[in-house]
Amino acid sequence: MPRMEALILEGLGDDGLIWLKMPPPTCSSGQSLAFCRRVIENILSRGPHVYKIGVTANPLYRFYKRPTLDSPSPGYYYSREKYKTMYIIYSAATFGEAALMEAVLIEGHRNMPGCRNENPGGEGRKADQGPFFTYVVFKSAMY
């Protein structure tokens, strides 16, 4: 996938806060969905969490973006919620594939305690080229 090597060289999955927790590339769609569900359930089994499921073309930017005058919205790390960790749980060559995974995962979590997703998924800004990543950001609800 274009840009994957560049993202890895930038430190994707190598900083202790953003983790690659993706299914093996040989998994079918159904196996990938089951894998992603297990990753999220594993997070929630460790105690109450605040979390959000999303899709992005650049996980580093989405997590660490600092607000500026031109772009005042912060990344998750600097947001009001101050999320502590991002798991990248799925990658796809097209935005549609990653957004569909996002929407299916959100559907199973909407209105659950701790879930901060308000929209059904797939509304994000679309980059010109992939890969695209479905992720979950989270933090303990105890702190």
CB-based burial label for 102 (10 Å; 0-12, 13-18, 19+) = buried
* CA geometry: angle 129, 55, 51, nearest 5 deg: 160
Q: How, if at all, do strands 85-92 and 132-140 pair?
A: antiparallel
pLDDT in tens, 69-105: 888 999 999 999 999 999 999 999 999 999 999 999 9
- The answer to whether 138 and 85 have CB atoms below 8 angstroms apart is yes
Q: What number of CA atoms fall less than 13 Å from residue 36's CA on the CB side?
A: 27
What local confidence, expressed as pLDDT, does residue 95 receive? 92
| Cβ neighbours of residue 17 closer than 8 Å, sequence gap 6 or more | 63, 77, 84, 85, 86
pTM of the model: 0.91
What local confidence, expressed as pLDDT, does residue 91 receive? 94
Quick check: 46 pLDDT over 70? yes
| Mean per-residue pLDDT, 2-13 | 71
